[in-house]
Amino acid sequence: MSISNISWEAQLDLTIVNSSVQEALKSKKLFRYQFKDSSSFVNILEKAISEYVGSDFALGVSSATNAIFLALKALGVDSNSKVLIPAFTFTAVPSAVIQCGAEPVLVDITESYVIDLEDLKRKILSSKAQYLLLSHMRGHLCDMDEVVKICEKSSIVLIEDAAHALGVTWKGKQAGTFGIAGIYSLQSYKIINAGEGGVLVTNNPDVFWKSVFMSGSYENNYKLHSSKNNDIAKRYKNHLPVFNVRMNNITAAIAIPQIKNIETTIHNTNKNYNKLSKYLLERKEIEFPKENLTIRSVRDSAQMRIKLNQNSLENLKSELNDINIPISYFGGLNNSNARLYQNWAFLENKNHILPNTKKNLSEVFDLRLPIHFQSKDIDIIAKSFLQVFDKVKGQKNSFS
């Protein structure tokens, strides 16, 4: 097999999901509230995820962005609010803040792709924000002990955008469970591929029940979610707007067997990442993030810093793309990547004080490693990558 035959598009493993999906289809019930006397597939997924991450509640919805929106709304974010977010995240994150009518306040990042905690302290004081929406972009975690301390000291409400971080742990504790609410993504290029979908987790019954009603639970359907704290649920019935962002049973049926198999998926994904990085680190100009033993990472993508001149970096991206390695590059001119804050033209405040974010991403390449990849795929990708790298750099190719 050659590099041109590698499939980079997310693929479902039908041997894992087929039985669950067929069961859902045979039920003839796609709407979660059609299950009156038994658990819907969405209920089953919610239970599985809450048990996996160790949360009291979980709510499945149509996307992680909608889960973020619900969490923010449930916590009182409105047009008078400011929400701190890392400047390196996906465009949907500030969009969810704006959807609430609030103002995103961007915080600088470090060379490790995580929020700069010193800049966070400065922005807390200067912005008077009351919320931190902490994105674990590409699954990278900051010092979670320290960020929790900062938030507690300054009475900041912490919400975790763990869209990329299901299965990532800090000292054994799951990302997404440090704040009052956490959000995971089931979009195709995440560790669980259900096409689309998001899950909100929390230990706070008020956040949960508010989110349930706003997600699209009307009349007495809330009783089909959980028997916990129904007295609290009754307070919110008919008192909140309904946004109809429910998850359907087919999405849940696709995800259920994958959450049950997630540790195997993580093991294989991390094995692929380690193999790729070992190959590419043969070139001194290529750097990968240093591993932190406090963190159990989930590496379904690779970020690498490459020390070449600007023209060479842009040529490297172009030539890798030409041979079917769809790598992204965060530097250069006229870069339209949706993860770069410079491209969020919808933000009203353009006066961002971010001395390091752009600089820290200027040499960084970003490569997805879909969960269906096998070891032989990594061999081909790595060797093809280095052939192009050596060509661009002007070195003799070291592979025959």
Contact residues for 46 (Cβ-Cβ < 8 A; gap 6+): 58, 59, 60, 199
Contact residues for 71 (Cβ-Cβ < 8 A; gap 6+): 159, 181, 183, 200, 202, 207, 211
Q: For residue 285, what is the DSSP state?
A: T
In this predicted structure, the answer to whether residue 365 has a pLDDT above a threshold of 80 is yes
Give backbone dihedrals phi and psi of 241, rounded to 5 degrees, phi first: -70, 155
In this predicted structure, the answer to whether residue 201 has a pLDDT above a threshold of 60 is yes
Shortest CA distance to 74 belongs to which of 102, 104, 100? 100
In this predicted structure, the answer to whether residue 399 has a pLDDT above a threshold of 50 is no
**SS3 per residue for 191-244:** CCCCCCCEEEEECCHHHHHHHHHHHHCCCCHHHHCCCCCHHHHHHHCCCCCCCC
pLDDT tens track for 210-243: 999 999 999 999 999 987 888 999 999 999 999 9
The rounded mean pLDDT for the chain is: 96
- The pLDDT value recorded for residue 395 is 56
Q: What value does the mean pLDDT take over residues 381-400?
A: 81
CB 117 within 8 A of CB 84: no
In this predicted structure, the answer to whether residue 400 has a pLDDT above a threshold of 50 is no
In this predicted structure, the answer to whether residue 257 has a pLDDT above a threshold of 70 is yes
Q: What value does the mean pLDDT take over residues 75-80?
A: 98
**Residues shown for the chain:** 400
In this predicted structure, the answer to whether residue 356 has a pLDDT above a threshold of 90 is yes
Quick one: residue 219, left, alpha or beta (phi over 0 = left, psi -120 to 50 = alpha)? left
Burial of 122 (0-12, 13-18, 19+ CB in 10 A): middle
Evaluated on CA atoms 252, 253, 259, 264, the torsion sign reads: negative
Residues of the chain with CATH 3.90.1150.10: 262-393
pLDDT tens track for 276-291: 999 999 999 999 999 9
Residues of the chain with CATH 3.40.640.10: 14-260
Domain spanning 14-260, CATH class? alpha beta
pTM: 0.96
pLDDT tens track for 21-41: 999 999 999 999 999 989 999
In this predicted structure, the answer to whether residue 271 has a pLDDT above a threshold of 70 is yes
pLDDT tens track for 144-190: 999 999 999 999 999 999 999 999 999 999 999 999 999 999 999 99
Query: Considering the domain 262-393, what is its CATH architecture?
Result: Alpha-Beta Complex (3.90)
Shortest CA distance to 132 belongs to which of 164, 184, 89? 89
Quick one: residue 304, left, alpha or beta (phi over 0 = left, psi -120 to 50 = alpha)? beta
- The pLDDT value recorded for residue 386 is 98
pLDDT tens track for 112-152: 999 999 999 999 999 999 999 999 999 999 999 999 999 99
Q: Hey, is 33 helix, strand or coil?
A: helix
pLDDT level of residue 398 (50, 70, 90 thresholds):
very low
